[in-house]
Amino acid sequence: MAWEDVVVRLYGSRRLLTPWVPGLKPTERAPVPMADAAAALDQTLMLEGLQQVDLCGVSYGAMVAAQLAADFPERVRRLVLVGGQVRPPRSVLRMQKVLLRMIPRSRFVDMGVSKEQVLRSQEVVRALDLTDALPRITARTLVVVGAKDLANQAGARALADGIAGASLRVVEGAGHLVNTEKPEELTTILTDFLDALEPTG
């Protein structure tokens, strides 16, 4: 499980949910448009009785989380976006597609998704543009990117610049999947951010 090492470290300090990102569930056979994915995720959280949440997403999940925070701003208190993009450059998508095709299916199974599902999600991402959504996000936001995730450095800066009051954190030694590559450091970053007092005045 992609979040296992982070969840274990956070367990006991707060209620944690790691729902499927709509569009990546094993039973799904077709891409899910971003707005529909955000609405479906919001419904999942509502069914769990969560009226307000602190939301963290990685990569495709970060973009769904940002869409949810924009479409349902009253529902998201704090937002952490790891390895996300605003409008992914076509060159980055082409490179990612090539790299994804080279990764063995077993690696995807370890993360709980199928290779085919991840490749399908790239078709949704291709049409994604969060530029107009970002100003609607009111949650206190932290954008995180790995120092070695060169393809997403510009995207991380664009996210931080586009969301009012957002801050940017670069994790040294990490690539795209900070949650699996640097789980201890990400846990510390999450804990510090989520436990920090809200600014006053």
Give me the CATH number covering residue 54: 3.40.50.1820
The whole model's pTM is what?
0.83
* Boundaries of domain holding 67: 4-195
Per-residue model confidence as pLDDT tens digits over 76-127 = 999 999 999 998 776 666 766 666 677 776 766 666 566 666 766 666 677 7
**Measured between alpha carbons, how far is 176 from 41 in angstroms, rounded to an integer?**
23
62 in a structural domain: yes
Q: Give the residue-averaged pLDDT of 182-194.
A: 94
∠ at Cα 15 (9, 19), nearest 5°?
Answer: 90
Nearest partner of 83 among 150, 16, 4, judged by Cα? 150
- 200 domain-assigned: no
Kindly state whether residue 13 falls inside one of the protein's structural domains.
yes
For residue 164, is it within any domain? yes
Rounded to the nearest 10°, the torsion over CA 154, 160, 161, 165 is: -170
Radius of gyration of the chain (CA): 16
Q: In this predicted model, which residue has the larger pLDDT, 109 or 5?
A: 5
Question: Is there a domain that residue 121 lies in?
Answer: yes
Number of domains making up the chain:
1
